[in-house]
């Protein structure tokens, strides 16, 4: 196994899960456990696995693995109810964790806000009554007319003007949405970007927005961009911010989508194929998926909060309070973390985006530590894609975001391919795409332009 050089404690989820599954197979006494997450419309995601029999000395191991799986499924598919069958021990452990007083209080509060329903964990006596219910939703692909595509990144905002599928203008502007408490700042910055793009075209027929967070009917239900904004005071203002901008632009048809889904859509459009997992590494990790039918499954795919490292010494995410989750492995935070582990000292005060640029500049100069930082992220990625493949039917992987820019992005890409070939032979031929430099940074805003159907 090829291991990261800087992160000595890394225990990839796929390795832990494979070892666990192999150990369970050797046991005479085992049980089938079902974990399902239900969301709006009765849609759900169902995952079955073999576990050690309750009370045979493996309860702690069962519970840790099951909780990590439940967490993965919850942030992959989204939902307000976790259903468990097959083990009362696992059920009680997960139920205790997923309360407002438990270890996963953030998850409970987040999902309750998204689905506007109380969160619950329930035990199901008969696993056969948990039947999968899925959907496939058409998204984007509209290229007619004059369109604006806006990508609301945590450190940069990008906008593109697109006429009949051809990009006529793109720009990338630094902004500070995650540290600003006045939502008028966000509104003005978004509107300015829209007006700039509009000025490059004879008219505007549709607006598409790619933005981190969860969006329902173009409303921002939960979004890290507004993390400093007072929810009680400005909740409705921020929830409707894109809707109101579109109205001010002339009541233009609007479609807002999670940035991960737009990443996947960008790949689907570029490849002219489906089954695309898009991963954007920027301020955080954004993931989206276009299924084999060319649609969305209706999942959250907020894998920034899904575990990828099983180590109890893994880095903690400040927002969710959990450890070992994707945002600390596939983002600018991963670059900073690894550089710190290698002994690099950043000048203070320096923003995370500025720290990323420092390491990116060093890697362009051939610096050994900076090269190792991006090499380790490539190792992270190679160990994580097989884990994601347990839940997504992946034909193509598209990599975007500022972390994938320049020589560092090329190192991540090449290292990932090398590790897959050596350690995960069944994934050696997985199609992984790294777009050209411009598309890596503004590709999402271009794809976002195709989201909305014009009048």
Q: Are 402 and 424 part of one and the same domain?
A: yes
If one counts the domains in the chain, the total is: 3
Contacts of 325 (CB under 8 A, 6+ apart): 304, 305, 306, 307, 308, 309, 317
Give the three-state DSSP class for 191: helix
pLDDT at 443 (0 to 100): 63
Average pLDDT over residues 125-150: 92
Give the three-state DSSP class for 291: coil
> Per residue in 180-193, pLDDT tens?
999 999 999 999 99
CA distance 380 to 366: 21
CA distance 453 to 247: 16
Q: Are 277 and 419 part of one and the same domain?
A: yes
Which of 71, 100, 129 terminates a domain? The answer is 129
Q: Are 374 and 403 part of one and the same domain?
A: yes
pLDDT at 440 (0 to 100): 53
Handedness of CA 434, 440, 444, 447 (dihedral sign): negative
Answer yes or no: is pLDDT of 441 > 60: no
Q: Which stretches of 139-279 are DSSP H helices?
A: 183-198, 231-239, 241-248, 259-271
Q: Are 439 and 329 part of one and the same domain?
A: yes
Contacts of 306 (CB under 8 A, 6+ apart): 71, 72, 75, 76, 325, 326
Q: Are 184 and 226 part of one and the same domain?
A: yes
Q: Are 306 and 441 part of one and the same domain?
A: yes
Average pLDDT over residues 389-406: 94
> Per residue in 202-231, pLDDT tens?
999 999 999 888 888 899 988 889 989 998
Q: Which domain holds residue 404?
A: 269-446
> Per residue in 366-392, pLDDT tens?
999 999 999 999 999 999 999 999 999
**Radius of gyration of the chain measured on its C-alpha atoms:** 22
Give a yes or no: residue 7 inside a domain: no
> Per residue in 316-354, pLDDT tens?
999 899 999 999 999 999 999 999 999 999 998 888 989
Degrees to nearest 5, angle at CA 101 with 317 and 220:
55
Which of 239, 261, 283 terminates a domain? The answer is 261
Query: What percent of the chain stands above pLDDT 70?
Result: 98
Give a yes or no: residue 309 inside a domain: yes
Mean pLDDT of the chain: 94
Q: Are 293 and 417 part of one and the same domain?
A: yes
Structure tokens at 453: 């159907």
Q: Are 257 and 273 part of one and the same domain?
A: no
| pTM of the model as a whole | 0.87
Give a yes or no: residue 453 inside a domain: no
> Per residue in 265-290, pLDDT tens?
878 887 889 999 999 898 899 899 99
Asked whether the beta carbons of 110 and 304 are under 8 A apart, the reply is no
pLDDT at 439 (0 to 100): 57
Q: Which stretches of 54-149 are DSSP H helices?
A: 59-77, 88-97, 105-115
CATH label of the domain that carries residue 166: 3.30.420.40
Count other Cβ atoms within 10 Å, centred on residue 64. Answer: 16
Give a yes or no: residue 363 inside a domain: yes
Q: Are 122 and 251 part of one and the same domain?
A: no
State residue 71 phi and psi, 5-degree precision.
Answer: -60, -45
pLDDT at 116 (0 to 100): 87
């Amino acid at each position: 196994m090829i291991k990261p050089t800087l992160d000595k404690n890394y225990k990839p989820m796929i390795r832990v899960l494979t070892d666990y599954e192999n150990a369970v197979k050797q046991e005479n006494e085992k049980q089938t456990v079902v974990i399902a997450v239900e969301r709006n419309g009765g849609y759900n995601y169902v995952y079955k696995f073999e576990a050690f029999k309750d009370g045979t000395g493996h309860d702690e191991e069962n519970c840790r693995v099951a909780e990590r799986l439940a967490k993965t499924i919850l942030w992959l598919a989204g939902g307000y109810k976790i259903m468990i069958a097959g083990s009362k021990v696992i059920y009680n452990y997960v139920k205790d964790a997923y309360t407002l007083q438990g270890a996963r209080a953030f998850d409970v509060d987040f999902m309750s806000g998204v689905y506007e329903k109380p969160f619950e964990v329930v035990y199901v006596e008969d696993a056969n009554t948990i039947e999968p219910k899925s959907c496939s939703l058409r998204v984007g692909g509209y290229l007619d007319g004059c369109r604006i595509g806006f990508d609301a990144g945590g450190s940069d905002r990008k906008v593109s003007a697109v006429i009949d599928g051809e990009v006529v203008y793109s720009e990338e502007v630094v902004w500070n949405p995650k540290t600003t408490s006045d939502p008028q700042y966000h509104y003005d910055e978004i509107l300015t970007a829209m007006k700039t793009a509009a000025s490059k075209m004879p008219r505007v027929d549709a607006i598409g927005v790619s933005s981190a967070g969860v969006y329902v009917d173009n409303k921002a239900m939960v979004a890290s961009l507004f993390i400093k904004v007072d929810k009680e005071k400005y909740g409705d203002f921020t929830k409707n911010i894109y809707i109101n901008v579109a109205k001010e632009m002339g009541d233009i048809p609007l479609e807002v989508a999670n940035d991960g889904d737009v990443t996947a859509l960008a790949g689907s459009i570029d490849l002219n194929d489906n089954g695309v997992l898009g991963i954007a590494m920027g301020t955080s990790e954004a993931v989206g998926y276009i299924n084999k039918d060319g649609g969305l499954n209706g999942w959250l795919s907020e894998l920034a909060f899904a575990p990828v490292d099983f180590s109890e010494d893994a880095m903690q995410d400040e927002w969710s309070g959990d450890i070992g989750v994707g945002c600390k492995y596939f983002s600018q935070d991963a670059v900073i973390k690894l550089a710190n582990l290698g002994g690099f000292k950043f000048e203070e005060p320096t923003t995370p985006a500025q720290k990323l640029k420092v390491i990116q500049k060093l890697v362009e100069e051939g610096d050994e530590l900076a090269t190792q930082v991006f090499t380790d992220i490539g190792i992270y990625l190679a160990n994580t894609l097989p884990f994601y493949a347990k839940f997504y039917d992946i034909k193509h992987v598209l990599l975007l975001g500022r972390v994938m820019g320049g020589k560092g992005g090329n190192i991540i890409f090449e290292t990932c391919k090398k590790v897959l070939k050596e350690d995960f032979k069944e994934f050696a031929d997985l199609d992984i795409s790294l777009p050209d430099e411009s598309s890596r940074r503004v590709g999402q805003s271009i794809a976002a332009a195709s989201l909305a159907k014009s009048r």
